[in-house]
Structure 1
């Protein structure tokens, strides 16, 4: 006998959206998935800073495979997950992914300099060295959609405005 699940809505959904933001904000790095020039998926991680509008900014070297990937194909996915050590059932691990449009911010521009200052505030003196290296690029990753999962049957579409919609599969 199958049990019908009512969609989660209202204040409960708002509380879950807040949990999603807490998960993302608990990380200093993001997992980054890009496509190579051959169309093959490649994954890595990088530190990030986040703008007030929800945009993620990454400052990465041309030596990293994801930089030429983003220059050639300005789209990516980013991923955040709860620590394994804090997860009772690894099949139901709390996680969020976001599909993002990507834009490079030109070096020497006011927005670029301001954001690199934020990186330096957050990550320290290493950024002072990196900001002077010409192979580093600053990218803005603007979320378009995604999914937040907190357990079995508890998956939510992340909308462009950051709100959530409960994903309910009709199993009839």
Structure 2
């Protein structure tokens, strides 16, 4: 009997379907953000978002530290993560982490108006109020690459289209 292929090996070869990534994104209303300032100091935050095609949009205020970092196009990472109350194993929460570039959307442009309408549809009338405030800007986050994890030893590279590419690591966790 051949014992060379373990269930872990089979799991690595069987990539999760792309809809799992899309389902995780659809299950959240906000994205966790990691940015850096001009001195390289990290900042973590969050923002409500909408997704249009493969671009994520957030409406953020310059009163928040992360907004300047985003507006100046510094490195950005986004995370979508399974709700703690829904997870079976806190150490293995389903999550998608995406590296992204950013661009600012010109106020009152067609793109601005379309995205603001989608934000209002998703997040309510508060968007009408804050989108009129001059310290709020609309940022587009353009995915470049990422990682999707859906359990122990089940981590995958993700491309800019949020498609799963390949298993991230062929080495299992090691015991001491």
TM-score, normalised relative to structure 2: 0.86
| Other-structure match for 2:139 | 139
RMSD: 1.9
| Other-structure match for 2:60 | 60
Q: Do 2:49 and 2:119's aligned partners in 1 also have CA atoms closer than 8 Å?
A: yes
| Other-structure match for 2:116 | 116
Give CA deviations for 1:132-151 in whole Å, capped at 9, x if unaligned: 11111101101111101011
Q: Do 2:36 and 2:74's aligned partners in 1 also have CA atoms closer than 8 Å?
A: no
Compute the displacement of 1:3 (Å).
Answer: 6.5
Unmatched 5+ residue regions in structure 2?
Answer: none
Q: Do 2:120 and 2:127's aligned partners in 1 also have CA atoms closer than 8 Å?
A: yes
TM-score, normalised relative to structure 1: 0.88
Q: Do 2:71 and 2:139's aligned partners in 1 also have CA atoms closer than 8 Å?
A: no
Matched, 1:34 2:39: no
Deviates more, 1:121-130 or 1:95-104: 121-130
| Other-structure match for 2:99 | 99
Q: Hey, what's the Cα distance between the residues in 1 that align with 2:171 and 2:153?
A: 11
Q: Hey, what's the Cα distance between the residues in 2 that align with 1:147 and 1:63?
A: 30
Q: How does 1:1-172 map to 2 (within 5 A)?
A: 5=9, 7-9=12-14, 13=15, 15-51=16-52, 53-164=53-164, 165-170=166-171
Give CA deviations for 1:78-120 in whole Å, capped at 9, x if unaligned: 0011111222221111111000010101112111111111111
Count matched residues: 166
Q: Do 1:29 and 1:48's aligned partners in 2 also have CA atoms closer than 8 Å?
A: yes
Deviates more, 1:89-98 or 1:161-170: 161-170
Q: Hey, what's the Cα distance between the residues in 2 that align with 1:168 and 1:32?
A: 25
